[in-house]
Structure 1
Amino acid sequence: MIIPKNSEELELMRESAQVVSRTLGIIAKEIKPGVTTLQLDKIAEDYIRSEGAVPGFLGLYDFPNTLCVSPNAQVVHGIPNDKPLEEGDIISVDCGAIKNGFYGDHAYTFEVGEVSPEIKQLLKVTKESLYLGIREFKLGNRVGDVGYAIQKHAEDHGYGVVRELVGHGLGRTMHEDPEMPNYGKRGRGKKFVEGMAVAIEPMINLGTKRIKQLRDGWTILTADGRVSAHFEHDVALVDGNPQLLSTFDYIYESLGIKSEEENEFRKE
């Protein structure tokens, strides 16, 4: 059952999402060759708690850390460790926070130093597919409209769209209805309603769409060992249109990037 939120609840959700956005902005400054993902995890946990929030992933379904950190061929749910990042890596960082009883859940794939043009293109297309999906999250549309937009853009570029892992509704729990696959058919699936909030999160592979899981019970890898990208925003349906609760602005500020990609989805 979809749980719509009123304006006050959506503002509380925005606060939670923005805690995560600022956390990723801080992490962006630290990602470089030689840094370990355990170091990033500690920075994230300390900042989230300093904001009067609680790490949303820590202990959720028994996950052991604050961040899911997934380098290179890891798709999602990677566990932080003491292996240093290397030049040319990419790393997907997924972070959650709970504040005022609501979750924020937000992800970005970072470059470590200089990466290959092939990988840069994957990151570009995956992020483009995120915004194409967000644009379809509007009154009158259905889950399949978002999934179709993401899938078409990714597959038009020859990439694999992960099927087994999906976006989701968001609120007082991390995973609410509806599930938000990154593939689908137009006009299919649950209908969107005013006030609902979702996490839209394309997970796109350079090669095959197929995945496998490590014995740790968490880490998801591409089946062919090629790299994967993951970008995620929290989005609410307000006055019939998508409105971002999260932002990449803090990341871009840290990295010296100028972008207008979020302008059409900002709160007026």
Structure 2
Amino acid sequence: MATIKNEAQIEAMAQAGKLLAACHREITKRIAPGVSTLEIDSFVETYLKRYDATPEQKGYMGYPFATCASVNNVICHGFPTETPLAEGDIVTIDMVVNLDGWLADSAWTYAVGTLSPKAQNLIKTTRAALDVGIQQAIPGNRVGHISHAIQTLAEREGFSVVRQFIGHGIGQRMHEEPPVPHFGSRSSGEVLKAGMVLTIEPMLTTGSWKAVIDADGWTARTVDGSLAAQYEHTIAITEKGPRILTDQGE
């Protein structure tokens, strides 16, 4: 069962989210052809240290980096590498910030230079899927309202929703109850209550929704080599509606 956070705890998570969003804005300035995801990873670790925060996923179950960096056909959990990004690539940077013991989690897919129309549409639709999911994150709805809204929009636009990886509750631990799938019926999942905090993080592909895992045990790729994108926010359920704790101010 999900833990209910009080106002002070949600505000502490919002401070972590504010820092995370600021870090993503800095990444936006740095993503370009010729830049490596390992350089971005190093920047993130240094940036967070400056504000007395830490990258929560570094060391989590042995994960060795401050960020996940997923390029083109990598769905999620990609290792940062020294390989330079190329014109037309898309790359998702996913990170969890720990500030004073409270966590925030957000992923963003970035365009590297000029994208193909297919890649542009994938990014646009994935962002829209996140937005419609957030709109359903209100007290009295079920998790399934989020799931169904995301799947409906994605499939209407001709994309597939990855099913092996889902959103989750979050607080002082990275993964809490409830699970938040991005597919399914409105009647599924836990009833949402004010004080819950969860991640909504749809991953869409241009082909099959199925994933394969690399030999590193982490990197998840599309089974057919198709492109994948992901957007993620940390959301607090409130009586006034969903509060995006990782809002980038767009």
TM range (shorter): over 0.9
Q: Which sections of structure 2, spanning at least 5 residues, go unmatched? A: none
The number of equivalent residue pairs is: 250
* TM-score normalised by L of structure 2: 0.98
1:139 equivalent in alignment to 2:126: no
Q: CA deviation at 1:221?
A: 0.2
How far did 1:27 drift? 1.0
SS of the residue corresponding to residue 182 of structure 1 reads coil
Which residue is 1:223 aligned to?
A: 223
Q: Which amino acid aligns with 1:219?
A: T
Q: Return the letter of the residue paired with 1:175.
A: H
- Read off the aligned partner of 1:222 and give its amino acid letter: T
Residue 49 of structure 1 aligns with which residue? 49
* AA partner of residue 119 (structure 1): A
Would you identify which runs of 4 or more consecutive aligned residues in structure 1 move more than 6 Å? none
Contact 1:139-1:240 within 8 A present in 2 as well:
no
Secondary structure at 2:172's aligned position in 1?
coil
- Tell me by how many angstroms 1:187 deviates: 2.1
Per the alignment, residue 170 of structure 2 pairs with: 170
Are residues 1:243 and 2:220 paired?
Answer: no
Q: Which residue of 1 aligns with 2:105?
A: 105
Unaligned runs of 5+ in 1: 250-258, 260-268
Aligned CA-pair RMSD: 0.8
Structure 1 letter corresponding to 2:163: R
Q: Letter of the 2:34 partner, please give it.
A: G
Show the 5 A alignment for 1:10-29.
Answer: 10-29=10-29
| Alpha-carbon displacement from aligned partner over 1:35-94 (angstroms, at most 9, x marks no partner) | 111100000000011111111111111110001000000000000110000000000000
Percentage of matched positions with identical amino acids: 37
Q: Which residue of 2 aligns with 1:89?
A: 89
Q: Does residue 129 of the first structure (1) align with residue 129 of the second (2)? A: yes
SS in 2 for 1:115: coil
Q: Distance in 2 between matches of 1:233 and 1:152?
A: 19
Rounded Cα–Cα distance in structure 2 between residues aligned with 1:14 and 1:248? 12
1:116 CA drift (Å) = 0.5
After TM superposition, list the pairs within 5 Å mapping 1:67-78 onto structure 2: 67-78=67-78
Once structures 1 and 2 are overlaid, which stretch shifts more, 184-193 or 69-78? Answer: 184-193
* Residues in 2 aligned to 1:145 and 1:81: alpha-carbon distance in whole angstroms: 37
Residue in 1 that maps onto 2:161: 161
SS of the residue corresponding to residue 107 of structure 1 reads strand
Partners of 2:18 and 2:58 in 1: CA distance: 18
Partner of 1:40: 40
Is the 1:75–1:221 contact (alpha carbons within 8 Å) kept by the matching residues of 2? yes
